[in-house]
């Protein structure tokens, strides 16, 4: 049997005395799109923060391609091929689109010791990527993030995850505050991610959005996973709502 891309085993998390996660097991396969659903406070964000290095688990293990890993920071997660896109993505709004795409990984031109960024290359790559993620309006790559709409910012964050070839792209409510067309753009990206060999964990408020794009639905309730193998093609939205609320 092929190794899962990511396997989280028996993950627990306490924030002080609040237990946000209790013995959670989650696997994600290669080229698999997993929808993570649950009511507010169910522990979805905490679970993916543990996986993306934003918060440490209190206990439990994480395996990437069968090897146990220590994820203590977002840099560790990125090194393992795990990139996370939050509602307010970690973009530097004063910097350009191109600069944000390469943040911390800028290509260098000329003699190494001069440490001069290759702006031409960055802008070329940025232009290509923006086209790929569906920013079709020909926005120049040197545009600062501050002048982009919410959806365009989300697209830049997605483009970054794509370019650095993350194996697993985690999206935590990426469509909140987005317009209809922008939301469609994000959904299109998730749907296409599988074909380009990426896996995704997709968290969204809107169950219908999740149903449209995922291979498998996992439901959390009060810090635990209560269903991990719901096939959206064989299940109704109402049934999944029942699992979410536990009624």
Ligand X SMILES: Nc1ncnc2c1ncn2[C@@H]1O[C@H](COP(=O)(O)OP(=O)(O)O)[C@@H](O)[C@H]1O
Residues of this chain that interact with ligand X (CB under 6 A) are: 15, 18, 20, 38, 40-46
Alpha-carbon span 162 to 144, nearest angstrom: 20
* Residue 45 near Mg ion by CB under 5 A: yes
Instruction: Enter the tokens of residue 44.
Output: 């979805």
d(CA 34, CA 5): 12
Helix axes 150-163, 180-193, angle to 10 degrees: 10
Q: Shortest approach of ligand X to residue 225 CB, angstroms?
A: 12
Nearest residue to Mg ion by CB is: 45
Do 202 and 213 meet the contact criterion of CB atoms below 8 Å apart? yes
Q: In sequence order, what are the residues at sequence separation of 6 or more whose Cβ sits closer than 8 angstroms to the Cβ of residue 127?
A: 141
Q: Which is nearer to ligand X, 130 or 214 (CB)?
A: 214
Q: How far is the CB of 39 from ligand X (least distance, A)?
A: 7
Q: Which is nearer to ligand X, 43 or 141 (CB)?
A: 43
Segment contacting Mg ion by CB under 5 A, of 6-14, 38-46, 209-217, 233-241: 38-46
Quote the least distance from Cβ 13 to ligand X, whole Å.
8
CB of 41 or CB of 60, closer to Mg ion:
41
Q: Which is nearer to ligand X, 43 or 150 (CB)?
A: 43
The least CB distance from residue 84 to ligand X, in Å, is: 13
Q: Which residues, 6+ apart, have CB-to-CB distance to 104 below 8 Å? A: none
Q: Cβ of residue 93: shortest distance to ligand X, in angstroms?
A: 24
Residue with tokens 């996370």: 84
**How many alpha carbons lie under 13 Å from residue 66 in its C-beta half-sphere?**
3
Cβ atoms of residues 151 and 185 within 8 Å: yes
Interface with Mg ion, residue 84, by CB under 5 A: no
Is position 199 an interface residue for Mg ion (rule: CB under 5 A)? no
Rule CB under 5 A: which residues touch Mg ion? Answer: 45
């Amino acid at each position: 049997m092929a190794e899962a891309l990511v396997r989280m085993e028996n993950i627990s998390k306490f924030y002080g005395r609040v237990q946000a996660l209790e013995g959670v097991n989650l696997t994600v396969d290669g080229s698999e799109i997993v929808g993570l659903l649950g009511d507010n406070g169910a522990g979805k964000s905490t679970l993916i923060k543990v996986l993306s290095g934003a918060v440490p688990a209190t206990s439990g293990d994480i395996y990437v391609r069968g090897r146990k890993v220590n994820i203590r920071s977002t840099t560790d997660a990125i090194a393992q091929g795990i990139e996370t896109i939050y509602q307010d993505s970690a973009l530097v709004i004063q910097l350009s689109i191109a600069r944000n795409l390469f943040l911390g990984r800028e290509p260098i031109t000329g003699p190494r010791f001069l440490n001069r960024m290759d702006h031409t290359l960055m802008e070329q790559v940025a232009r290509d990527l923006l086209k790929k993620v569906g920013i079709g309006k020909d926005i120049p790559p040197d545009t600062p993030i501050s002048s982009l709409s919410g959806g365009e910012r989300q697209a830049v964050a997605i483009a970054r995850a794509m370019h650095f070839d993350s194996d697993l792209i985690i999206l935590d409510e990426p469509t909140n505050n987005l317009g209809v067309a922008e939301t469609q753009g994000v959904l299109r990206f998730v749907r296409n991610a599988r074909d380009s060999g990426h896996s995704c964990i997709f968290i969204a408020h809107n169950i219908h959005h999740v149903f449209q794009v995922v291979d498998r639905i996992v439901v959390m309730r009060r810090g635990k996973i209560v269903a991990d193998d719901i096939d959206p093609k064989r299940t109704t939205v109402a049934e999944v709502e029942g699992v979410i609320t536990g009624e």
